[in-house]
Amino acid sequence: MNFKKYKNNFLDYVLNQRYGILIELYSEIYYLTYKLMKKNNIKCVNLPITTQSVSSPMGLGSDSLPYKVISKKNKYEFYLADSMQFYLELLLRVRNVESIGYISSSFRGEEVDKRHLHQFNHFEVEFKYDLKKTKKLIIKYLKYVVKNLLKTHKKELEFFDKDNSWRLNKWLTNKVINLSFNDGIKILDRECKQGISQQNNFISINSIGEKYLIEKFKEKIIWLNNFPETLVPFYQQSINGYAINSDLLIGIGETIGAGQRSFDYNETINSIKKHKNNPEEYEWYLKMKSEKPLLTSGFGMGIERFMLFLIGEDDIREVQLIPRETDLEVLP
What is the model's pLDDT at position 6?
A: 78
Alpha-carbon gap, residue 160 to 313, rounded angstroms = 8
Q: Which CATH fold would you assign to the domain 3-319?
A: BirA Bifunctional Protein; domain 2 (3.30.930)
**Span 32-49, pLDDT tens digits:** 999 999 999 999 999 988
Tell me the three state secondary structure of residue 101: strand
Is a pLDDT exceeding 70 seen at residue 62? no
Q: What is the mean pLDDT of residues 113-129?
A: 95
Name 325's bridge partners: 328
Summary mean pLDDT of the chain: 92
Alpha-carbon gap, residue 108 to 304, rounded angstroms = 14
Q: Considering only residues 13 and 145, tell me which one the structure prediction assigns the higher pLDDT.
A: 145
Least confident of 16-30, 104-118, 225-239: 104-118
**Span 66-78, pLDDT tens digits:** 787 777 777 777 8
Least confident of 77-86, 120-129, 148-157, 314-323: 77-86
The confidence band for 64, taking pLDDT boundaries of 50, 70 and 90, is: low
At residue 236, what is the residue type?
Q
Is a pLDDT exceeding 70 seen at residue 4? no
Give the residue ranges of DSSP H helices in the chain: 3-14, 17-39, 85-91, 131-152, 154-160, 164-173, 181-191, 207-216, 265-274, 283-291, 303-311
**Span 164-174, pLDDT tens digits:** 999 999 999 99
The confidence band for 56, taking pLDDT boundaries of 50, 70 and 90, is: low
Q: What is the mean pLDDT of residues 113-120?
A: 92
Rounded to 5 degrees, φ, ψ at 223 are -100, 125
Is a pLDDT exceeding 50 seen at residue 61? no
Domain range list for the chain? 3-319
**Span 203-245, pLDDT tens digits:** 999 999 999 999 999 999 999 999 999 999 999 999 999 999 9
The confidence band for 85, taking pLDDT boundaries of 50, 70 and 90, is: very high
What is the model's pLDDT at position 255?
A: 98
CA 309 from centre of chain:
14
Is residue 150 within 8 Å of 311, Cβ to Cβ?
no
Least confident of 71-80, 132-141, 295-304: 71-80
- Taking alpha carbons only, the member of 209, 249, 206 closest to residue 225 is 249
pTM: 0.94
Residue 139: exposure state from Cβ atoms within 10 A (0-12, 13-18, ≥19) = middle
What is the model's pLDDT at position 126?
A: 99
The confidence band for 1, taking pLDDT boundaries of 50, 70 and 90, is: low
Is a pLDDT exceeding 80 seen at residue 54? no
Alpha-carbon gap, residue 279 to 286, rounded angstroms = 8
Q: Considering only residues 300 and 7, tell me which one the structure prediction assigns the higher pLDDT.
A: 300
